[in-house]
Amino acid sequence: MDSAAEPITTSSAETDAATLRRLFDAQRPRALALRSSTADDRIAKLKRLRELMFDKREAIHAACHADFAKPGAEVEATEILPVVAEARHAIRKLKSWMKPKRKLPTQLLLGTSAEVRTEPRGVCLIISPWNYPINLSLGPLVSAIAAGNTVILKPSEMTPHCTAFLEEFIAELFEPEEVAVVTGAVETAQALLDLPFDHIFFTGSPAVGRHVMAAAAKHLASVTLELGGKSPAIVDRSANIEAAAASLVWGKFANNGQTCIAPDYVYVHAAIKDDFVAACRAALDKLYGPRDQIAANPDYCRIVNDKHYQRLRELLEDAIERGAKLPVGTVPANDERFLAPTLLTQVDDDARIMDEEIFGPLLPILTFDDINTPIAAINARPKPLALYVYARDNALVEAVLSRTSAGGSCVNQAMLHFLHDRLPFGGVNNSGLGQSHGHYGYLAFSHERAVLRDRFSLAFLFRPPYNRFTRGFIRFAVRWLS
């Protein structure tokens, strides 16, 4: 269809299937043209994106505050910083990433030369979540642009101000035939998943991730799934208690706990449990001030909407009904989507909070005497997106890392692996599929194409007719390589 004759517009509460199909069809020829784009072409786009991020930082602050009262410092550190760092890294490394990688010939293929080239996957779909709406939309987009793709970006409907910002931001940088933002909720997402994208990058829950993967399978599209799960932490008696508490309190309660790699529950050695709880109390006072004044503290954001707020209240009330104690925190009594930092002890194994991903400022604290206990409990659950261990006993740290599985881990810290340009970020099984960030993100949006060139190989000796000489040569080759 002639897109010039009928302009593509996507600004509506729900984007209809016909518009999405027209947008997808318009991006196909652009995707073919982008296959021959140079590193300089792509770097110029990444530089414009990075520069516009700085120009629009006040608008980003305003949108994040309007959606969940996110403090400005957190917007800078968790929404803007990761994107500009991702862009900066790609700008610096893209020429080397795009350069074909030569591979030495095997003994069997002497006389040939070989290389691996990266080529764009084509028309890509990015479905981003609400908890870090700018970061988790534009971070994958940087990788997709670096790899030379076209993109349709579907942000979450739960953060409408951030979605409106992304619409304006992308429209200022790209024609819709190259990158476009579409709005809507479940109907729009389903209509997008019905289209034959070359690659789908989804960030969200494991339940929705299964649906995305099933939809992608209909078109044999490749997928990157960044999901969630219950990310555990272990605090051993050998740990620096104050440092561990400060790290975990920040990791758990930043963004009001609405972080896919936030510590979901903590196993603490029984010998230091009381000291650890006291250290968490002190760390919370330092971060957010007196507990009776946190609601007025602009450094502490809110739950994204009433639905999630009510879900968290129900998790807390269920845990209390089953005997949980609250050494820090109270049952919320207001309707302003404020939920104070809450520590729970004596949590029943059958409580809902131990079964569901919390995604809020509620932190169950469990105890152990033998490190085999938390290891067994972690292995009994689906594999988490992150696992954190706090200890100065290196043998114990190695035991935890070698006997568990997780998408990523930190030792004596929480969440910082997300910011490391040279580390892959992603889950495993229930917590995700594929990797992102830096070179790994570039590869996620690329196909690694093998290219072999024949110069003077002996391949002809393996062809029929299989006379005595040919059969003897093949038998010799088999013995030689065995």
| pLDDT at position 13 | 63
Residue 468 covered by a domain? no
Contact between 341 and 249 under an 8 Å Cβ cutoff? The reply is yes
Distance CA 438, CA 289 (A): 37
Average pLDDT over the chain, rounded to whole?
A: 94
| pLDDT at position 12 | 47
Report the sign of the C-alpha dihedral through residues 297, 299, 304, 309, in that order.
Answer: negative
Rounded to an integer, the average pLDDT of 248-258 is 97
| pLDDT at position 11 | 47
Rounded to an integer, the average pLDDT of 384-410 is 98
Give residue 329's pLDDT band: very low, low, confident or very high (50, 70, 90): confident
Are both 269 and 201 inside the same structural domain?
no
**pLDDT tens-digit map of 199-225:** 999 999 999 999 999 999 999 999 999
Are both 443 and 364 inside the same structural domain?
no
Rounded to an integer, the average pLDDT of 123-142 is 98
Indicate the helix (H) or strand (E) that contains 449: strand 446-454
Are both 64 and 194 inside the same structural domain?
yes
Contact between 121 and 198 under an 8 Å Cβ cutoff? The reply is yes
| pLDDT at position 480 | 87
| pLDDT at position 14 | 75
Between the alpha carbon of residue 84 and those of residues 54, 142, 312, the distances in Å are 9, 9, 33
We report the CATH number of the domain holding residue 403 as 3.40.309.10
Are both 410 and 281 inside the same structural domain?
yes
> Secondary structure of the chain: what % helix, strand, coil (to 5)?
50, 15, 35
| pLDDT at position 399 | 98
* Alpha carbon distance, N-terminus to C-terminus of the chain: 57
For tokens 């917007």, what's the residue? Answer: 75
**pLDDT tens-digit map of 70-81:** 999 999 999 999
Total tally of structural domains belonging to the chain: 2
Rounded to an integer, the average pLDDT of 125-140 is 98
Distance CA 475, CA 461 (A): 12
Are both 238 and 193 inside the same structural domain?
no
Residue 107 covered by a domain? yes
How crowded is the C-beta side of 421, counted as CA atoms within 13 Å? 14
Q: Which of 64, 124, 162, 260 is catalytic?
A: 260
Distance CA 76, CA 173 (A): 21
**pLDDT tens-digit map of 1-20:** 333 334 444 544 677 899 99
| pLDDT at position 7 | 44
| pLDDT at position 292 | 86
| pLDDT at position 335 | 66
CB contact set of 249 (below 8 Å; sequence gap of 6+): 280, 283, 284, 287, 341
Distance CA 442, CA 44 (A): 16
Q: Is 280 one of the annotated active-site residues of the chain?
A: no
Peptide bond preceding 424 in cis form (omega within 30 of 0)? no
Distance CA 67, CA 76 (A): 16
Residue 465 covered by a domain? no
Are both 141 and 256 inside the same structural domain?
no
Q: Which of 79, 167, 226, 357 is catalytic?
A: 226
Contact between 303 and 337 under an 8 Å Cβ cutoff? The reply is yes
| pLDDT at position 3 | 38
Distance CA 462, CA 129 (A): 54
Q: Pick the more confident residue, 6 or 379.
A: 379
- How many other C-beta atoms can be found within 10 angstroms of the C-beta atom of residue 448? 10
Give residue 336's pLDDT band: very low, low, confident or very high (50, 70, 90): confident
Tokens of 31: 């995707």
Are both 200 and 247 inside the same structural domain?
no
Residue 381 covered by a domain? yes
Question: Three-state SS across 345-365?
Answer: ECCCCCCHHHCCCCCCCEEEE
Q: Above 80 in pLDDT, residue 456?
A: yes
> What amino acid is encoded at 248 in this protein?
L
Q: What angle do CA 177, 205, 300 make, to 5 degrees?
A: 95
Residue 154 covered by a domain? yes
Distance CA 269, CA 271 (A): 5
| pLDDT at position 15 | 79
Are both 158 and 194 inside the same structural domain?
yes
Contact between 291 and 285 under an 8 Å Cβ cutoff? The reply is yes
Q: How far is CA 331 from the centre of its chain?
A: 31
We report the CATH number of the domain holding residue 88 as 3.40.605.10
Residue 462 covered by a domain? no
Are both 214 and 271 inside the same structural domain?
no
Tokens of 293: 């004044």
Q: What's the length of the chain?
A: 482
Residue 10 covered by a domain? no
Are both 146 and 264 inside the same structural domain?
no
DSSP state of 9: -
Q: Above 80 in pLDDT, residue 449?
A: yes
Are both 187 and 257 inside the same structural domain?
no
**pLDDT tens-digit map of 94-114:** 999 999 999 999 988 999 999
The residue segments making up the domain with residue 34 are: 17-227+435-448
Residue-wise DSSP of 369-382: SSTHHHHHHHHHSP
CB contact set of 231 (below 8 Å; sequence gap of 6+): 260, 261, 262, 263, 264, 384, 385, 386, 387, 388, 406
Distance CA 447, CA 462 (A): 30
Distance CA 417, CA 286 (A): 24
Q: Above 90 in pLDDT, residue 377?
A: yes
Q: Is 260 one of the annotated active-site residues of the chain?
A: yes
86: nearest Cα among 417, 432, 414, 439:
439
What are the φ/ψ torsions at residue 123 (nearest 5 degrees)? Answer: -90, 120
Are both 217 and 268 inside the same structural domain?
no
Rounded to an integer, the average pLDDT of 236-262 is 97
Residue 299 covered by a domain? yes
Distance CA 63, CA 61 (A): 6
